[in-house]
Amino acid sequence: NCLHRPVYRVPCANALWHIDGHHKHIKWGFIIHERVDDYSRLITYLNLSNNNLAITVLTHFLKAVDEYSHPSR
């Protein structure tokens, strides 16, 4: 049994961002949030936080939007 991942085809940079949170070190109080541009693989945001609050994620997303503009999807 193989895991089949969806194939994303985007026309240009900044068309689609992937956002993910890594909670592997949560017992030590560390959570990593990242955003990657699907076309260029540019890391538009990478943050180490001590919480998983929506406002924390939103604040850093908006900072990335200020720097890179918003993704079209």
Q: How many domains does the chain have?
A: 1
User: Does residue 48 fall inside a structural domain?
Assistant: yes
User: DSSP letter at 15?
Assistant: S
| C-alpha triplet 44, 45, 49: angle, nearest 5° | 175
Mean pLDDT of the chain: 88
Identify which of 36, 14, 16 has the alpha carbon closest to the alpha carbon of residue 47: 36
Q: What is the pLDDT of residue 73?
A: 67
Q: What is the pLDDT of residues 19-57, one digit of tens each?
A: 899 999 989 999 999 999 988 989 988 999 999 999 999
Residue range of the domain that includes 38: 17-68
Count CB atoms within 10 A of the CB of residue 46.
Answer: 12
Alpha helices in the chain (DSSP H): 54-68
- DSSP 3-state assignment of 56? helix
User: Does residue 6 fall inside a structural domain?
Assistant: no
pTM, whole model, 2 decimals?
0.74
